[in-house]
Chains A and B, each alone.
Chain A
Amino acid sequence: MSRLGKYTRRAFLGLGVAAAGGLAVGFYFYKKPYANPLDAKKAEGEAPLNPYVMIANDNTITIIAPRAEMGQGVHTTLAALVAEELEVPLEHVIVEHGPSSPAYFNAAMLEESTPFPFYDESVLAELARGSMKIVATFLGLNITGGSSSTTDAFVKMREAGYAAKFVLVKAAAEHFGTSEDNLALADGTVTDKASGQSVTYGELASRAAVVSPPGETKLKKASDWKILGKTQKRVELKDKVTGGRIFGIDVQLPNMLYSTVRMAPRKGVSLRSYDKTATLAIPGVKDVVEIRTITGEGLGVIAENTWAAFKGAEALEIKWDDPHSFQNSDQMWSALEDALTQEATFELGGTGSDAEVFTSIPESEAVSAQYRLPFLAHATMEPMNATAQHDGSKIRVWTGTQAPGLIQSVISRHFDMDSADIDIATTRLGGGFGRRLEVDFALYASVIAKATAPNPVKVTWTREEDTQHDAYRPMAIGEFKGQVTPDGTLKTMDMHVASPSIIQSVMPRTFPGISPIGPDNTVLDGAFNQPLDVENIRCKAHVADLQVPVGFWRSVGNSVNGFFHESFIDEAAHKAGRDPLEFRLAHLTSDEFRPAREALKRVAEMSGWVTPLPAGKGRGIAHVLSFGTWTAQVVQVDVKDNTVTIEEVWAVADPGIVLDPGMFRDQIMSGINFGLSQALGQEITWAEGEVEQANFDTFDAMRMYQAPRITIELLENSPRMGGAGEPGTPPSTPALANAIFAATGKRIRQMPLSNEIDFI
């Protein structure tokens, strides 16, 4: 809890500002010197109490939840944090994403980007986390990713609710001429207990304007929570069952044109020449424009409707200049194999110090394995799209994004404009999974909008364009070696991971000019920072640039290394002749690994781990700590005629504090199915410089008939708060591969598993 403590000691600085017909108490947090972005946005009669709360005099209460709602329920949970302290029911508030502003920076995400394991409380780790937080403030990163939103908001949003309540109560005391103790708060109204008279928050607005904000906060005890800790109804639920116009693709503006893009196969490939005759001959096509940007080159087709744009794009004849030496997947695999033979790029974590140990494992005690994972596309359900408009000196963009601040800075740099003149409106997202942390779709829309100015243009990618122009989950090879002593102890574990670096790929397209410092721990996430009591551990990264854009894919490095690590532990258990659960528990004896032990034991109980299964069935187990959440899973399969049915999954997750159990379980369920989808056939491969897969016929995901029964339980043993969106994914694939091994004796060490065994 030490980190959270830092926030509560933080003082408020108050500035009272009267607004027309309402209340504006603009106050912002010490050490966060950003102007309140709502001051510029407020309408007549609205009073921004702070960057997160706005109360109108008709008692409409608006809470700003400045994170991308992409299905994880973050708008609901963030609003609940404010509503809890403000004493209003969630049904009575309106939740908005709010403008892109550095005031909404996400420090927790960068904090976890440091090369220290989550459970490492050493001074060095604390220092590194602290300095990454300063970087986040400096860059004004308003980012949704790394399952960090609720961790980041846990104190910040509750403080905002408290602070708003504080000034309202003071104003009410004055209004009734009584003391604060005689007031009762409920439902957005304050009641004078003596007279029984009530006044709404909205009516108190102007009076509260002259009240000084609190010097310190007294947040409610968890035992007094009315909203938090309980399952809430999603604030946008009705929109999502009625076909609501809530996504980027639904944006409709007066005089709007439609467009799509045909981009070069990857960044670095340039547009040499093209023939647009056939395109312009298609009825409804208006123009073809060149796109040359930091994320890629290509063409945009402008038309009267999306379908004409699609047809026009298909009819384009384009020649590219491709300088890349790697044209196909075989070359890329060779490069990774090569990297493994080279000196490691960096090393993280590790125990024991004698390098000799790793090279002198007796043959009879050695266990070794090589695992391979392919590139993966995000395949969000809503294809990439953005709507943009140039009106003279300003650019407006409407899009579903996880990083409005990045889009703002990249567009301002592209046009050499002040970022204050770039306005980003964030819609709801039809899936994010990390894909919408990229800026390409919004940048291309802004370039095309220059050609359609002053008219706005909506740019929708085809599914094919989306699949073939992603920032992919990196492909990787894991070379793992261990020593199992005759008494069945894993004494040594030597991990080598060859993979491209996500940070090295992302930084030049989003933060040109800032060079990433230190190791990119995403290469080893899920390997170097796992709970494991083994005498000698070594974890080395062999970074290789494969000339393919790579990016953040749900659970990032953990999706790679979780598979390597947990498959390997299973192999070691087999070598030791021990039960995989019992073997894991025997190597998790340290005090700080208690959450892992408890999660494993509980998931074993739930799944009936000790009861034998009939022939042809098997169970596999795995545990991965990622994004601060300890997650154990058991997968059960049935294998008939060499065809696997994934029957059932049991999961136990421990994020320390659960703010909304229903939403949290939904995220774990989603993460499991997202992870298992990989096994069923997903891979992105390259041939002649292009991605071979294009649509859902060649890059599919799990369907209803393949979906397992899933049972999830949550624990709260962890001393810190963890995320929800990603931790469900990493253990699912190794648990599945381990289950197939248990059922068949066949060990599959590559993804998709479907390359070696059929799935229904």
Chain B
Amino acid sequence: MYPKIPLTVNGQKQEIEADPEMPLLWALRDIMDIKGTKFGCGIAACGACTVLIDGEAVRSCSQPVGEVEGEITTIEGISQGDELHAVQLAWMKHSVPQCGYCQSGQIMAAVALLEENPTPTDEDISRAMTNLCRCGTYPKIKAALKDAAQTLGA
């Protein structure tokens, strides 16, 4: 009874049957069983659900799945097998995560930022990184992000 919706997620083409109004977040989590993208608020206010669509950060809780145009990348899609993305490695090096729940979204937002601006200043980071972290890991996010920028630039 639902229409078929074609999607490309982490490089894989697929078709799901879902209400086109369903937020991409829930299509990923409940229908495709891709759990790295987290739910925090459902109103685009926290960033826990951040994914990339054609490289741009999108809050998937407020993006109807039927209207997605472009390739979706989730946290599962930024590493190559066991080889983690430079941002993930920097996050590990700086031991950023505490509870860790916001960190998929933070990492995706950071990946998108560095894509657009490979050498962000403190102010660029503060302006772009608007995701909420209830554990207050902001100082470490900032340090790790700058570290990743250096690695990627080198």
Contact = CB atoms under 8 A, between A and B. Distances in A.
Report which residue of A381, A428, A463, A670 has the largest number of chain B beta carbons within 10 angstroms of its beta carbon. A381
A428 B100 contact: yes
Contacts of B35: 243, 245, 250, 252
Interface residues of A, number: 64
Contact of B99 (A308, A310, A429, A462): A429
Contacts of A700: 45, 132
Interface string A660-678: 0010001001111110010
Interface in A598-635: none
A293 to B, nearest CB: 24
B99 A666 contact: no
A377 B63 CA distance: 28
Given A241-B84, A242-B75, A463-B42, A704 B99 contact: no
A415 B13 CA distance: 47
A637 interface: no
A695 interface: yes
B43 A381 contact: no
A703 B132 contact: yes
A136 interface: no
Interface stretch (A491-499, A502-510, A705-713, A733-741): A705-713
A696 B45 contact: yes
A347 interface: no
A242 B26 contact: no
Contacts of B100: 71, 236, 239-241, 244, 246, 428, 430
B125 A674 contact: no
Interface string B32-48: 01011111111101101
Given A237-B97, A463-B43, A670 B130 contact: no
Contacts of A669: 136-137, 139-140
Given A463-B40, A703-B132, A242 B79 contact: yes
Interface in B117-141: 125-127, 129-141
Contact of B48 (A306, A381, A707, A709): A381
Given A234-B97, A237-B92, A696 B46 contact: yes
Contacts of A677: 136
B14 interface: no
B147 interface: no
Contacts of A383: 39-40
Interface in B74-119: 74-76, 79, 84, 88, 91-92, 95-104, 107
B29 interface: yes
B96, B126, B138 — which one has the most chain A CB atoms within 10 A of its CB?
B138
Contacts of B99: 70-71, 380-382, 428-432
Given A307-B22, A381-B102, A670-B137, A242 B84 contact: yes
B135 A305 contact: no
Q: From DSSP, what is the main secondary structure of chain A's interface residues?
A: loop
Given A234-B95, A237-B92, A307-B22, A430 B132 contact: no
Contact of B101 (A73, A306, A430): A430
B19 interface: yes
A524 interface: no
A669 B95 CA distance: 13
B1 interface: yes
B38 A305 contact: no
A366 interface: no
A705 B130 CA distance: 8
A697 interface: yes
Return the 4 tightest CB-CB contacts between A and B, nearest first.
Answer: A243-B36, A673-B136, A430-B101, A240-B100
9 contacts: A237-B95, A240-B100, A241-B91, A242-B36, A242-B79, A247-B38, A307-B30, A463-B40, A697-B45
Interface of A: 70-73, 233-234, 236-247, 249-250, 252, 258, 283-284, 305-308, 310, 379-383, 428-433, 460, 462-463, 662, 666, 669-674, 677, 695-697, 700-705, 707, 709-710
Interface of B: 1-2, 19, 22-23, 26, 29-31, 33, 35-43, 45-46, 48, 74-76, 79, 84, 88, 91-92, 95-104, 107, 125-127, 129-142
Given A241-B97, A245-B35, A245-B36, 9 more contacts: A239-B100, A283-B1, A283-B2, A310-B42, A672-B136, A673-B136, A674-B134, A677-B136, A705-B130
